Structure 1
Amino acid sequence: MQKATETVLEIDLNALAQNYRYLTSKLDKDTRVMGVVKAFGYGSDSVAVAKELVILGVSYFAVAYPDEGISLRKASIETSILVLHPLPATFKKITDSCMEPAIYSRSMLTQFIDFAEKSGLTDFPIHLKFNTGLNRLGFIADDIDFIAEKTTATFSVKIKSMFTHLAASEDAAEKDFTESQLGQFKDISEKIINKIGYKPLLHTLNTSGVLNYPEAQYDMVRTGIGLYGFGNDPEENKNLKPVATLKTVISQIHTVKKGETVGYNRAFKASETTKTATLPVGHADGIKRIFGNRKGWVTVHGKKASIIGNVCMDMIMIDVTSIDCDEGDEVIVFGENPSADELSKVINTIPYELITGVSQRVKRVICRK
C-alpha cells in the first residue's frame, strides 16, 4: 500500500470479504445474511462496503435511519433494505425508496397501515420487531392478537420478517438469559404464524449470536461488527481482520527541553529532554480527549508512541524520543497495531464507539490489501 501523506481512513475490501466468508462458514448453506451498514458502515464507507457485500452474496441490508438507505439507493444498490428505526415522519422516504420498515409498536403499526392504505400500497413488506429482554424497541407477547388482527384486516401490508435482538449474546455468563430470549421469540413467532396463516422470514442472531448460538439462525442472520473485523471475543478476533485503518503523518518534530510543556493547559511537562511529533488528527476526527496524557498511543514504524498532553481539536502530540522518525513519516492511529479493540479497553469502552466515531472530514480510501 502507498504510504499515507495525510490523515486517511483506509477501507480494506479484502478484509471485509475475509470476515464475511468466516462468518458465513458458521451458517447453513440456505441461511440468508443481512449486512448491517448503518452509521456510515460502522464508520467506514457504507456504499463501498455494500457494493462489496452484494458481490459476496448478501441478501439484505440494515440501516438505522432512512437517509442511510437512500445513500445506497443513490449508488444504484437495489438489494432489499430494512430500516431499523423508522418514525412516522419518515414513512414516505422509506416507501419512495423501496425500503422496508421495522415496525415495533401498536401505534407504529396502526400509523403505517393507515399511511399505506392512503398511499394505495398493496402487500408492502414490513418487519416486526419483538422485545424479548433488551427493552429498547419492540412488540411484546401481549401484542400478538393485535398484530394478527391488524395485518390480516388489510391488503396494504404483508409481514416480510419477524425478529428480535439479543441483549448479551457475547457473554457466556448470560447464556440462560439469551436462551430465554430465544425461547420467547420461538413461542411468539409460532403463535403469529398460526394466526396469520403464512410464514415470514425469522431472524434473531447478531454477530455474537452467529458465533455462539448457530442453532438459532432460523432463515437469516444480521451481522454488523463482525463484518468490520471484531468478534466481541479475543479468540474470535483472531479469525477476523479490521477493515478500517486510521492513518496519519508527522507534521512537525520538536525537541522539548526539561521543564518545558506541551499543549493546552500545559498538561505535559518534560521531566527530561523529549522528542515529540505533532500529528494532524484530533478530537474532531474521533480521537477522544481521554486518550491524552499517555492513556492512548499510536504506532510509528511499528513502535508504540504515547499521546502526550491534551488531545486538541485537530492535532495530537506524541512522544517519539526512542523512535527514529522524520516529518512526513506515516503513523497508525488504529488498525491492526494498535487495534480499535486494544484502544477501546484503555478507556473502558468498545471498538464500536471508536470506529463509528471517525469524523466524516477524514478522507476515506478504498483499497485491497
Structure 2
Amino acid sequence: MPKAQETILEIDRSALTHNYNYLKSKLQSKTKFLAVVKAFAYGNDAEKIAKHLQWLNVDYFAVAYTSEGVALREAGITKPILVLHPQIVNFKTIIKHCLEPSLYNTNVLNAFITVANEEAQTNYPVHIKFNTGLNRLGFWESDVDYIINKLKATSSIVITSIFSHLAASEDANEADFTVNQIKSFKVIATEFLSKLDYKPLLHLCNTSGVINYPEAHLDMVRCGIGLYGFGNSANEDKYLKPIASLKSIISQIHKIEPNETVGYNRAYVAKTYEKTATIPIGHADGIGRHLGNEKGYVIINGQKASIIGNVCMDMIMVNITTINCKEGDEVIIFDGNNKATDLATSLNTISYEIITSISQRVKRSFIE
C-alpha cells in the first residue's frame, strides 16, 4: 500500500469481500444475509460499502435511522433496507423511498398503519420486533394477539419479518441467557406464525450469534461488526480482516528540555531531554481526549509512540524520543496489524466505539 501523505482512512474492499464470504460460509444456503451499514457503515463509508455488498449479492441492508436509508437509496442501492429505529415523523419519507420500518410497540404500529392508509399503500412491508431480554425496543409476547388483530383490520401493511436482538451472544458466561433468548423468540414466532396465513422471515442472530449459535440462524442473520473485521473474540478475529486503516503523518518534530510542557493546560511535563512529534489528527477527527496523557498511542516505524498531553481538536503530540523517524513519516493509528481492538482494550471500551468515532472530515480512500 502507498504511504500516507495526509490523515486518511483507507478501506480495503478485498477485506470486506473476505469477511462477507467467511460469515456467509457459516450459513445454510437458504439463510439470507442482512448487512448492517448504520453509522456510516461503522465509521467507514456507507454508500460505497453498500454498493460493494450489493455487488456481492447481499440479500438485505439495515440502517438505524431513516436518513441513512434515504442516502443509500439516493446512492443507487436497490436491495431492501430495514430501518431499525424509525421515528414517526419520518414515516412518509420511509414510504417515499421504499424503506422498511421496524415496528416495535403499539404507538409506532398504529402510527405507521395510519400513514400507510393516508398514502394509499397496500401490503407495505414492515418488520415486527420483539423484546426477548435486551430491554431496549420491542413488543412483548403478550402483544401477539393485538398485532394480529391490527393486521386483520388493515390491508395497508404486510409483515416481512419477525425479529429480536441477542443481548450477549459474544459472552460465553452468558450462554444460558442467550439460549433462553433463542427459546423465547422461537416460542413467540411459533405463536405469531400460527395466526398468519403466510410466513414472514425470522431473524435473531448478530455477528456473534452467527459464530456461536448456528441453531439460531433461522431464515436470515444480521451482520455488522463482523463485516468490518471484528469477531468479538480473539479466536474469530484470526479469520476476519479489519477493512479500515487510519493513518496520518508527522507534521513537525520538537526537541524539548526537562520540565518543558506540551499541549493545552501544560498537561505533559518532560522528564528529561525528549523528542515529540505533532500529528494532524485530533478529537474533531475521532481521537477522543480520553486517549491523551499516555493512555493512547500511535505506531511510527513499527514502534508505539504514546500520545502525550491533552488531545487537541485537530492535532495530537506523541513521544518519539526512542524512535528513529522524521517529518513526513507515516503514522498508523490502527490497521490490520495494529488493530482497533487493541486500542479499545487499552481504554476499556470496544472496537465499535473506536471505529465509529472517525469523523466524516477524514478523507476516505478505497483500495483493492
Instruction: Give me the TM-score of the superposition, normalised by structure 1.
Output: 0.98
State whether residues 302 and 337 of structure 1, in contact with CA within 8 Å, keep that contact through their aligned partners in structure 2: no
2:11 corresponds to 1:3: no
Deviations 1:261-318 (A, max 9, x none): 1111111111111111000001111111111111111101111111111111111001
State whether residues 128 and 161 of structure 2, in contact with CA within 8 Å, keep that contact through their aligned partners in structure 1: yes
Q: Residue 326 of structure 1 aligns with which residue?
A: 326
Residue 338 of structure 1 and its aligned partner are, at CA, apart by 2.4
2:39 corresponds to 1:39: yes
Q: Which aligned runs of 4 or more in structure 1 are off by greater than 3 angstroms?
A: none
Change (3 A) 1:337 1:289: farther
131-140 or 315-324: which moved more? Answer: 315-324
Residue 2 of structure 1 and its aligned partner are, at CA, apart by 1.7
| Separation (CA, whole Å) in 2 of partners of 1:184 and 1:153 | 27
| Separation (CA, whole Å) in 2 of partners of 1:152 and 1:35 | 31
Gaps of 5+ in 1: none
State whether residues 283 and 314 of structure 1, in contact with CA within 8 Å, keep that contact through their aligned partners in structure 2: yes
| Separation (CA, whole Å) in 2 of partners of 1:187 and 1:170 | 23
Deviations 1:216-258 (A, max 9, x none): 1011000000000111101111111111111000000011112
SS of residue paired to 2:95: helix
Q: Map residues 122-271 of structure 1 onto 2, 5 A cutoff.
A: 122-271=122-271
Q: Residue 84 of structure 1 aligns with which residue?
A: 84
Gaps of 5+ in 2: none
State whether residues 299 and 337 of structure 1, in contact with CA within 8 Å, keep that contact through their aligned partners in structure 2: no
2:147 corresponds to 1:110: no
State whether residues 169 and 178 of structure 1, in contact with CA within 8 Å, keep that contact through their aligned partners in structure 2: yes
SS of residue paired to 2:34: strand
State whether residues 160 and 200 of structure 2, in contact with CA within 8 Å, keep that contact through their aligned partners in structure 1: yes
| Separation (CA, whole Å) in 1 of partners of 2:7 and 2:92 | 38
Counterpart AA for 1:27:
L
| Separation (CA, whole Å) in 2 of partners of 1:38 and 1:45 | 10
Counterpart AA for 2:330:
E
Identity of aligned residues (%): 57
State whether residues 298 and 338 of structure 1, in contact with CA within 8 Å, keep that contact through their aligned partners in structure 2: no
| Separation (CA, whole Å) in 1 of partners of 2:364 and 2:280 | 15
Superposition RMSD in Å: 0.8
Deviations 1:162-218 (A, max 9, x none): 000000000111111111111111011111111122110000000000000011101
Instruction: Give me the TM-score of the superposition, normalised by structure 2.
Output: 0.99
